[in-house]
Structure 1
Amino acid sequence: MAFWSGEKLASELPHLVSPYWPKNLDCASYRLSVGEQAFVTSDKLTQHVPEAELVTFLGAPPKNLLRIGPGQFAFLLTDEVVEVPPSALALISMRAKYKFKGLINVSGFHVDPGWKGKLIFSVYNAGPSPILIEKGEPLFLIVYSDLDRTSEASHLYDGEAQGQESIKTSLLSGLNSQVFSPQVLQKKLDDTYEKMSAVNLKTSITVGVASALAAITSVLIATVALLPSWVGVVTARTLDAAGYEIRQKPDTRSPIDDRSREATPANTHPPGTTPVAPAAGK
């Protein structure tokens, strides 16, 4: 098995890659570009938002950008139609500048002899930040290698994806839910902490208001309880400062009318009689 050199790629790829751009030739590999279709997992798909599109169509600016968030999985369709001759095998990868950002190729790593069609790269953002992808951006790499012999028809690719031109809906049937990742778990924890903090804040405010009301009520009760004596003291001091003397009013009530007052034995005698003095010596 021998890998194709840059010179052989330059002579063979114009017949195997369409469209072919000489500027995309990179040493012993060729750079494939991002096409017009893509799919990215998102929260909208898990929440069944009606306007959420499964397949994103990239076009002219400003609709030429695709955002792959941390922990999200994506399908990216190439712009080029790729063909692999029966005597060769192709290997696919991504450029290092995107790998350093955390983008990982999780799709197959080779293209079978006899393949013809656009390629779909499945990628995963394992990095901490969103990655922006632009339509027409040379993101992928393809390398060709010779086989020890030309493959027979029975060993050539003849699957359902032959002649592939788009991202099929059947490929997305199991990807309508959020991909679990450390970033997704962190987001769920942050949301839970925020909700708990809101509940604790409301509870603290309620308890604080209740305590304040209880304190105010206690002060009012104490003030009302002390009000009569306080008013009396203030009135007495005011009159004294004005030169008035406060005296207790004499009791002018009649002993007969005052039933609460008990008569002494010396003054006790029947009505209309003259009291008799006690005998001497007794």
Structure 2
Amino acid sequence: MTVPHSSFWSSDRIKEEQSSRELISPFVGGFVKQSAYELALGSEVFITSEHTKRRLAPNEQISIPPGQFALLLTHEQLDIPNDVIGFISVRYTIKRKGLINVSGFHVDPGYCGRLKFAVYNAGSQNIVLSRGQRVFMIWFTNLTEPTSDPYQNKSTEQNEITAEDVMSLQGDVASPAALKDRIDSLQTEYDRRLSTMDDRVRQGLGALEDKIATRSKVATGLLVAFVVEFLILIIVLVVGFFFQRPTTIVVPEPKKDTPGIQQNSNTSQANNNRNSPG
């Protein structure tokens, strides 16, 4: 058994398949380019910064801020056969501005309905789109045989952005731009506090230097007074040493014996001799 070869469709093949079975509705042959079909932005969008979905009037514009997600509904409805798979992307002219497709890159065999593109603005500026603008692209390739488990959900949920879709993307998104602003704000606050702290440190050092200078002056004054008093004491001692009068010690001369005294002495000696026995 020969297995059919799987390959991507050319532009002519897309037009041929469209003429035999309705793949895309509405279909405009002029939007088949480089083996892909260009899909347009439809009537419903949801941007995380707006909290609820919007319905767009013809040619109405939307703006996706940096760092925000969005759900974009296509204008066209698709009816993918069971033996075909589609591959999707954002057009390069829009992708290069920073709009990234984060919802997946293929369309299942058997899928029927509009496509919901979940996108993220990774750029630094708002991305502006308008209803009816050619934003997306789809390529087709055939399978070797029809799949036995095609996509089964044929509900109308595929043709609108539902409340569940909105709730799945709700919440604050920390965009790079918002984070940059926050970092800049913190840097400014840090610089302010650092400057205030530096001023306080300088004031404290100035006060400390004043106290040290005052105490140094007091210590210097005390030292000078001590040195002066010490010098005065030295001077007084030196002057007293050189100019003090010496003390004269008078030694009395021995007295000479007089004749009367000598005679009395001799008489006393004679009397003593008489009185002595034998």
The bucket for the TM-score relative to the shorter chain is 0.5 to 0.7
Correspondence for 1:228: none
1:38 equivalent in alignment to 2:45: yes
CA shift in 2, pair 1:107/1:2, >3 Å:
same
1:115, 1:162 within 8 Å by CA — same for their partners in 2? no
| Bigger Rg over Cα | 2
The counterpart of 1:165, out of the listed 148, 159, 167, is: 159
Is 1:11 the counterpart of 2:16? The answer is: yes
Name which of 98, 119, 131 aligns with 1:135. Answer: 131
If the length of structure 1 is used for normalisation, what is the TM-score? Answer: 0.61
Structure 1: give runs of 5+ residues left out of the alignment: 43-51, 204-282
Q: What CA distance in whole angstroms lies between the structure 2 residues aligned with 1:41 and 1:198?
A: 34
Matched, 1:187 2:185: no
Could you tell me which residue of structure 2 aligns to residue 55 of structure 1? 53
Find the counterpart in structure 1 of residue 259 from structure 2: none
- TM-superposed CA distance for 1:151, in Å, is 1.7
Cα root mean square deviation, aligned: 2.6
Match of 1:175 in 2: 169
| Mapping of residues 30-179 of structure 1, within 5 Å | 30-42=37-49, 54-60=52-58, 64-152=60-148, 155-159=149-153, 164-179=158-173
Q: CA 1:131/1:161 → structure 2, altered by over 3 Å: closer, same or farther? A: farther
Q: Distance in 1 between matches of 2:176 and 2:51?
A: 25
Name the % identity: 35
In 2: Cα distance, 1:114 partner to 1:91 partner:
14
Aligned-pair distance for 1:23? 1.5
What is the one-letter code of the residue matched to 2:171? S
User: Aligned to 1:132, what secondary structure does the other structure show?
Assistant: strand
Q: State the match for 2:28 in structure 1.
A: 21
**Counterpart residue type for residue 88 of structure 1:** V
Report if the CA contact (8 A) 2:112-2:154 is conserved. Answer: no
Give the letter for the 1:56 counterpart. Answer: R
Q: What is the TM-score when the length of structure 2 is the normalising length? A: 0.62
Q: Would you say how many aligned residue pairs link Structure 1 and Structure 2?
A: 191
Residue 88 of structure 1: how far off its partner (Å): 0.7
Helix, strand or coil at the partner of 1:156: coil
| Superimposed CA distance per residue, residues 196-246 of structure 1 (whole angstroms, 9 cap, x where no aligned partner) | 89999xx9xxxxxxxxxxxxxxxxxxxxxxxxxxxxxxxxxxxxxxxxxxx
Structure 2 segments unaligned to the other structure (5+ residues): 1-5, 197-278
Which residue of structure 2 lines up, in the alignment, with residue 220 of structure 1? Answer: none
CA shift, 1:162, in A, is 6.7
Structure number having the greater helix percentage? 2
